[in-house]
Chains A and B, each alone.
Chain A
Amino acid sequence: MTAWHEKTAHEIRDLVRRGEVTAVEVTKSYLDRIAAVESKVDAYTQVWSDYALEQAAAVDGRVRRGEDPGQMAGVPIALKEVLCTQHGFTTCASKILEGFRSPYDATVVRKLAQAGAVFLGKVNMDEFAMGSSTENSAIKTTRNPWNLRCVPGGSSGGSAAAVAADMCAVSLGSDTGGSIRQPACLCGCVGIKPTYGRVSRYGLVAFASSLDQIGPLTKDVQDAALTLSVICGKDPLDATSADLPAPDFTQALTGDIRGLRVGMPRECFTEALGPEMREKVVTAIDVLRQQGAEVVEVSLPHSEYAIAVYYIICTAEASANLARFDGVRYGFRHPDVKDVREMYVKSKSAAFGPEVKRRIMLGTYVLSSGYYDAYYLKAQKVRRLIKEDFDRAFEQCDIIATPTSPTPAFEFGAKTADPLEMYLSDIYTISTNLATLPGISLPCGLCASGLPAAIQLMARPFDEATLLRAAHCYEQNSGIQMGKPPIA
């Protein structure tokens, strides 16, 4: 029999609901697993053992009393450090929020708790979700379970590593330019970034407000559909959340994609993509074709500007979003200051990491008087062109397929010296955020190095149903056995 911690969320949910296993047993299995491999992976920043067992016992109580224990009953979940929780700390992996306790729960946390999920703790990330390798964490270094010398990707590196290493059944990440999908790719798990507005951002510490979305990282597509169904929906606390019904996305997983049109953007399959990754992605697209999809070539002519546009818009928004961390009301305050101005300068200088500072400075610059039109305004215009590229492409197809990441996981330090090199890690994922589309990353085999490769699928805004149906169909028919990462 497989250990509880190797099971998927929907399997655990079904077993717990039927009373075939208790949530406490499942939780203990996960806590044991964490104890066994955490020292190698270092995914967790906080493990809430007692609290997790309390939550699990409450779920078991509901099952015993014959009450509905919820759609995520007993499913052990890890939360990215960027999500606000009343329990434990909310640090964004930054020194500036060391020891910070949020006075409230993020909407997604509240929804998952209501659905009977069990929170195991919080997981590592790049500071304030800025990075693609989790090397920017001020707390610790998280390693890729497939190769401990490699990064797990980022910024949701802890979320991806924890799922890949069976240290949780599901984790939540956040994705501003690829921060769910790229680490999901590098760690061989499923990661979905929903359409902007699909999931409430209330309680997600903002990096770039017009791009951020919360989404799940899971062991399979069904778990992604399940978790998304629980966390999505209009939230009166988030004006940008879409006023649409919250569907049960698991109903969309019919296995039937006959007649589905899959677009391959020619700009994403150039020489810039390594031959091995290219071969894996093309093979994956062939699986969709074999299942009855029609594959067409499409064009996204403005995608070459995506990274430039992204680093203007996200830094501009970040420069304002991070201004509140000033030492006045909460968080780190430098002890040795003589006036307010010095308090700001010294506190921020001492407690923000170099990448965060770089982006605050970039964002401040692009919004400055005299530069605004040339940078921020121009970037907004090009963002619109990128969105229009997708609108046109989706006239010819229903799903767009690309690689998730140009390369598999890389070694620590490989890209830290050159920020631009690191930024290119998100070349295939950034456009999705700029165009507010849903996107999913799916494992599509192992490279010769033994590291996972992944395909990314995208769909029209709010068409997660089609996206998940295609992803599920691929997963069921790919014939690929990813196996388990070679740790422990």
Chain B
Amino acid sequence: MEYEAVIGMEVHVEINTKSKIFCGCSTEFNAPPNTNVCPVCLGFPGVLPVLNREMVNKSVAAGLALNCRISRWSKMDRKNYFYPDMAKNYQISQYDLPLCFKGHLDIEVDGEIRRIGITRAHMEEDTARNTHTIGGGQSGVDFNRSGVPLLEIVTEPDLRSAKEAYAYLVTLKQILQYLDVSDCNMEEGSLRAEANISVRPKGATAFGAKTEVKNVASFSGVQKAIEYEIARQIQVLEEGGKVLQETRGWDADRGITVTQRLKESAHDYRYFPEPDLVPIVVDEAWEHRIRDRLPELPMARKKRFMEQYGLSAYDAMVLTATRPLADYYEACVSAGAESKKAANWVMGDLQALLTDGKMEITQCRIAPAALAAMIRMIEEGAISGKIGKEVLADMFETGREPQAIVEEKGLAQISDEAAIEAIVAQVISDNPAQVEQYKAGKEKVMGFLVGQVMKASRGKANPELVNRILRDALKK
């Protein structure tokens, strides 16, 4: 039988506000344990939460970017359960009235656009972090993470493959980073993804029993876990078994999912409205203020890059992959670089240097205007394209202006015809055999002779002039 997978994603992202969601403590990652804490995020007796307004701003921005409707009136709720990472033994979250709801995100898979429904995005507080001694015996709780703001983004069961789930995560991360609402760093736990997976006979409308896969450390891990889980569920059904509704963990080392918790032991969270907080009222004016400040989002920017700069779909996609890269490219163009040449340099040589140095564009020492200046120098014939690569590497290393490098290293292009004629004459007299071959009709030898001239000029000779002068000389 042919099966179809049905996948929904739940993604928790830490929103990058300076302070925690309900107190003034810093949200900084990697601080020494239990240093970013206060009576509020430690759940001491008598404390009260106060909602961080910036959290609401950033959550609304995320909601709008995900085409969600924003609740005019929403509230926080208490989710009750006991665990040592819970300062109050309840988590302040949103239950029946999420801040953002009924949205969608368009993703591109194999050149096709798929629209994924966003059920809701709601605000809540992160828990503390538990660590345990190997072999048990002792546990430590670090409350630095307690009260870090989280936005939980839940999709409709609209995804149909592991590949789509991967594309969804990449697109979501890209948008959230564009908005500057989250670092979306899976290693630091600022983005955590869980997948709800079920399979059903193709064409069926009812859902099969679902499993929830947690503990995945990377997007590719999510893709692999989903692939594994789909195959596992199909196998269970093919063998006449039943898929159990349960939570499964991804074991990356073994490449399998394993049972964590069966649904039978699921909690009754006894949600009820948080009486310590007032309702969250986002009126039209507030929503508009945030909407007006939204940056251009990746898909729109890609489209504009194609139209405005004449870029191919691929180039536009690469250049809009992150907001800093797109900003860098646009700054370079507005500083006077020709758009397609700028695209080639940014995506080619510059990206290669960044990759080698394991750096992000934000760490690049070359100012966009300096790159533009270098590109203009090539266009104007001041340096050759080949010398340009050398200059770029120096700029990347030192952060100096291209003019200064060219001057200091004497890399300016030789466009003096007399000088080139002298070199050409020398090359002809040094390579009589090749000259003979060329004259006998072996056109290919031309390339060798050009190379010799360029080599003799240490790459500085203007290639166009070299070609013309060499051809003329060989006709004699």
Interface residues of A (CB under 8 A from B): 83-84, 90, 92, 97, 100, 102-104, 106, 201-206, 208-210, 236-240, 316-317, 319-320, 323-326, 328-330, 340, 344, 364, 367-369, 372, 376
Contacts and interface: CB of A to CB of B under 8 A. Distances in A.
B45 A102 contact: yes
B276 A92 contact: no
A203 B46 contact: yes
Given A90-B45, A206-B46, A239-B51, A324 B89 contact: yes
Nearest to A201: B48
Interface stretch (B11-19, B76-84, B246-254): B76-84
Interface of B: 39, 42-51, 78, 80, 82, 84, 87-90, 139, 141, 268, 270-272, 275-278
Given A320-B78, A329-B87, A239 B275 contact: no
Contact of A240 (B78, B141, B276): B276
Given A102-B45, A202-B46, A320 B276 contact: no
A425 B80 CA distance: 31
A317 B46 contact: no
B49 A239 contact: yes
B90 A368 contact: no
Given A323-B89, A324-B89, A367 B48 contact: no
Contacts of B88: 320, 323-324
B456 to A, nearest CB: 76
Contacts of A369: 268, 270
A329 B140 CA distance: 11
Q: Which 10 A-B pairs have the closest CB atoms?
A: A323-B89, A209-B275, A367-B270, A210-B275, A84-B46, A205-B45, A203-B46, A369-B268, A205-B46, A324-B88
Contacts of B50: 236-239
Contacts of B271: 367
A76 to B, nearest CB: 23
Contacts of A202: 46-48
Nearest to A96: B45
B49 to A, nearest CB: 7
21 contacts: A84-B46, A92-B45, A102-B44, A103-B39, A103-B44, A205-B45, A208-B275, A236-B50, A319-B80, A319-B270, A320-B272, A323-B88, A324-B45, A324-B87, A326-B82, A326-B84, A329-B87, A344-B82, A368-B268, A369-B268, A376-B272
A338 to B, nearest CB: 11
A326 B45 contact: no
Nearest to A313: B275
Contacts of B90: 320, 323
Given A104-B39, A240-B275, A369-B268, 18 more contacts: A104-B44, A202-B46, A206-B46, A209-B276, A238-B50, A239-B50, A240-B277, A319-B270, A324-B88, A325-B45, A326-B82, A329-B42, A329-B43, A329-B87, A364-B270, A367-B80, A367-B271, A372-B272
Contact of B80 (A104, A320, A326): A320
Contacts of A239: 48-51, 276-278
A428 B275 CA distance: 24
Nearest to A202: B48
Most buried by A among B51, B78, B90, B278: B78
Contacts of B51: 239
B87 to A, nearest CB: 7
Nearest to A106: B46
Given A239-B51, A323-B90, A317 B82 contact: no
B272 to A, nearest CB: 6
Nearest to A322: B89
Contact of A238 (B39, B48, B80, B87): B48
Contacts of A238: 48, 50
A330 B45 CA distance: 10
Contacts of B82: 323, 326, 344
A329 B88 CA distance: 10
Most chain A beta carbons < 10 A, residue from B87, B139, B141, B268: B268
Given A92-B45, A205-B46, A340 B84 contact: yes
A240 B270 contact: no
Nearest to B84: A328
Contacts of B87: 324, 329
Contacts of B45: 84, 90, 92, 97, 100, 102, 205, 324-325, 330
Contacts of A237: 48, 50
Contacts of B268: 368-369
A360 B412 CA distance: 83
A92 B45 CA distance: 10
Contacts of B139: 340
B16 to A, nearest CB: 23
A334 B45 CA distance: 19
Contacts of A316: 272
Residue among B43, B50, B80, B275 with the highest chain A CB neighbour number at 10 A:
B275
Contact of A368 (B48, B141, B270): B270
A234 B141 CA distance: 34
B272 A367 contact: yes
Contact of A323 (B42, B44, B80, B278): B80
Contacts of A83: 46
Contacts of B278: 239-240
Contacts of A323: 80, 82, 88-90
Contacts of A90: 45-46
Contacts of A330: 44-45
A320 B48 CA distance: 13
Contacts of B49: 239
A430 to B, nearest CB: 17
A376 B43 CA distance: 25
A37 to B, nearest CB: 30
A364 B276 CA distance: 18
Nearest to B51: A239
Nearest to B130: A340
A340 B276 CA distance: 28
Contacts of A209: 275-276
A253 B5 CA distance: 74
Nearest to A343: B84
A165 to B, nearest CB: 27
Contacts of A103: 39, 44
A236 B84 CA distance: 29
Contacts of B80: 319-320, 323, 367
- Residue among B45, B46, B48, B90 with most chain A CB within 10 A: B45
Nearest to B85: A328
B139 to A, nearest CB: 8
Contacts of B89: 320, 323-324, 326
A84 B46 CA distance: 7
Contacts of B276: 206, 209, 239-240
Nearest to A340: B84
A205 to B, nearest CB: 4
A100 B46 CA distance: 13
Given A209-B276, A320-B78, A328 B39 contact: no
B415 to A, nearest CB: 70
A104 B39 CA distance: 8
A328 B141 contact: yes
A320 B42 CA distance: 15
A301 B277 CA distance: 30
